[in-house]
A and B are shown apart, each in its own frame.
Chain A
């Protein structure tokens, strides 16, 4: 078997009339199962896993500390001031919700468009979505100040006979993000059930058998079950598609429905959604590149997958760049003094450094992805994806802080400077994300086993390999050896 060199095969080109292989080096289903389950079944993960886990764990401890400090002291420990009442917290919230969008896009929209390459990356992209939404949910949760009153966000009958204000976009956000989390979790879990059954059937230890057995719900691959399962999966994809487009639109309503110059624009919903997909795909590349190296998944997450993701980054990056330009144009075209000022201030005011970081990372550097050499170079795409992550974080910072710090009345202008608590919480969220993601890599199959098998040519009952020995009756052994499998 030449599985070792298989990932050197270039499958990024297209031959007209032929399907490009999405699974390299695997000649049968059993090898696929083995490759995907190996990272979960080895006794010890690679050293790099321990190092990353240690760093993430330290950041989580720091998160626990800063969050407690915040709750016991008050929101004054953040660098907020009178005009700038939203800053790092909402920046991080929008950043993390945005990251999540790529997972749903891959699992739902690419599924509806029958993009079969999604099967290689959808599992961990969906996991990334869930963990990112957990990180996102943290920030509004602690930002309410009196966290013990967070239940006021929901329409729960209470002693004051008060109800939430359903005309407020902030409340729409509560419903949008919690629905998004629930549906993403369901989608992920439904996809996991058949794979957990695979893990259960392979498990050697009692604990693994119990755990995988419990969560696989007794799945036995019944085709009567698969029939409903496939319907349900399609329905979930169809439901998630408008959902994912709505979530970041609703997040953008938090800003767009206000009167503030720089926020009060109709371009926000599509602009936010494009930015979310842009940053999310960058995060998928950031995670996929080390994961496929560390866990030997190069034949399943091939260069073609990465190439495709880089193309999505390029397209959405151009959309974001267009939105930046269009914002300036509309500010000038509107003739509104405050609107014009808000944008000149973004580019040349007190936060111009942040603006230019944003423009260089989101608009300029992704243009390198026009070149196929860059799209298929592992180190370059990793660096560029990190740039996009940084750029998209700054985009949210620029939108939120510049508009607030310099609004209508110069006498109320101020400057926001983050405190160590702000920075600690931001780093802590990355730690939380890291811990969750590393645990996922260790204990759950990182690639959808059943789905990857389904896109192999062998999965098709009409595949020529299964029909070569028809003359000899239906002798399975003959058909099998014709397939070139030494069994």
Chain B
């Protein structure tokens, strides 16, 4: 079970020697990955990550991840949406300016049932909806963008063992570009954290 031998998961028929992407260590439960992440963090690695089938409570702290600024950006997007809604309605229904918005357009101050041109209360629902729409779109869009997704390929996917990262196993990956990465030393570090297996992953 606890095989601590390093194998390279590259196909044996590779012509040129493949470049090392990094090491992947497998852990069997959330308690182990949290304990291991604390150790790896304290060893000063930078280009490393944990891979888990679900968000593990306390792992952010164990890894020392900084809080994301996503909420601030979403707030800005929401404010933009709100302003867009107000300006759109004021422009189209309250005034008769002519502006260039891809084509020349002119506002048309509707007079409906004696309501004033600047009937802000009637504009609230659309302002609200656009606030939500802009916020939600930017929330999801920025989240994926900041995560570097979509990116369909990753060298980790060449590792068969890694498939269980979306099922029931927990992994730590340390990339070879990390300044503190030395294959033998890093492997020993991972093993000392209690990894069930450590595997090398090559670029392809």
Do chains A and B interact in one complex? yes
Name A residues whose Cβ lies closer than 8 Å to a Cβ of B. 28-30, 33, 155, 157, 161-169, 171-172, 175-176, 179, 182-183, 186-187, 189-190, 194, 197-198, 200-202, 213-214, 217-232, 235-236, 239-240, 242-243, 246, 250, 253, 449-451, 453-454, 458-463, 466-467, 473-477, 479-480, 483, 487
**Interface contact A459-B125, CB-CB below 8 Å:** no
**Interface contact A167-B112, CB-CB below 8 Å:** yes
Q: Of B13-21, B99-107, B181-189, which stretch is located at the interface?
A: B99-107
**Interface contact A223-B122, CB-CB below 8 Å:** no
**Interface contact A459-B140, CB-CB below 8 Å:** no
Give CA–CA (A242, B9) in the complex, Å.
Answer: 50
- Shortest distance from the beta carbon of A183 to any chain B beta carbon, whole Å: 4
Count of interface residues, chain B, beta-carbon cutoff 8 Å: 84
Closest to A196 in B: B166
Give CA–CA (A63, B175) in the complex, Å.
Answer: 56
**Interface contact A476-B147, CB-CB below 8 Å:** no
Give CA–CA (A162, B154) in the complex, Å.
Answer: 51
Give CA–CA (A475, B196) in the complex, Å.
Answer: 8
- Say whether chain A's binding surface is mostly helix, strand, loop, or mixed: helix
Give CA–CA (A236, B137) in the complex, Å.
Answer: 9
**Interface contact A221-B51, CB-CB below 8 Å:** yes
Provide the residues of chain A in CB contact with B68, threshold 8 Å: 227-228, 231
Give CA–CA (A155, B107) in the complex, Å.
Answer: 11
Give CA–CA (A224, B144) in the complex, Å.
Answer: 12
Provide the residues of chain B in CB contact with A239, threshold 8 Å: 132, 135-136, 139
Give CA–CA (A214, B7) in the complex, Å.
Answer: 29
Provide the residues of chain B in CB contact with A179, threshold 8 Å: 129-130, 132-133
**Interface contact B92-A232, CB-CB below 8 Å:** no
**Interface contact A167-B143, CB-CB below 8 Å:** no
Known A-B contacts A172-B126, A218-B149, A474-B194; A223 and B56 likewise in contact (beta carbons under 8 Å):
yes
Give CA–CA (A232, B145) in the complex, Å.
Answer: 12
Give CA–CA (A194, B187) in the complex, Å.
Answer: 28
Known A-B contacts A179-B132, A231-B70; A166 and B140 likewise in contact (beta carbons under 8 Å):
no
Contact with A along B121-161 (1 / 0, CB 8 A): 01101101110110111011011101101111110110000
Which of these, A182, A218, A467, A480, contacts B136 with CB under 8 Å?
A182
Provide the residues of chain A in CB contact with B110, threshold 8 Å: 163, 165, 167
**Interface contact A176-B32, CB-CB below 8 Å:** no
Could you jot down 15 A-B contacts, CB within 8 Å? Answer: A157-B102, A167-B122, A172-B129, A182-B137, A198-B53, A218-B152, A228-B146, A235-B135, A239-B136, A242-B128, A459-B54, A463-B31, A474-B35, A477-B2, A479-B32
**Interface contact A221-B29, CB-CB below 8 Å:** no
Which of these, A157, A175, A451, A487, contacts B129 with CB under 8 Å?
A175
Among all A-B residue pairs, the 7 with the closest Cβ atoms: A466-B31, A29-B168, A474-B194, A217-B150, A232-B143, A163-B92, A223-B50
- Shortest distance from the beta carbon of A284 to any chain B beta carbon, whole Å: 23
Closest to B91 in A: A163
Provide the residues of chain A in CB contact with B154, threshold 8 Å: 218, 220
**Interface contact A182-B53, CB-CB below 8 Å:** no
Which of these, B59, B142, B194, contacts A475 with CB under 8 Å?
B194
Provide the residues of chain A in CB contact with B139, threshold 8 Å: 186, 232, 235-236, 239
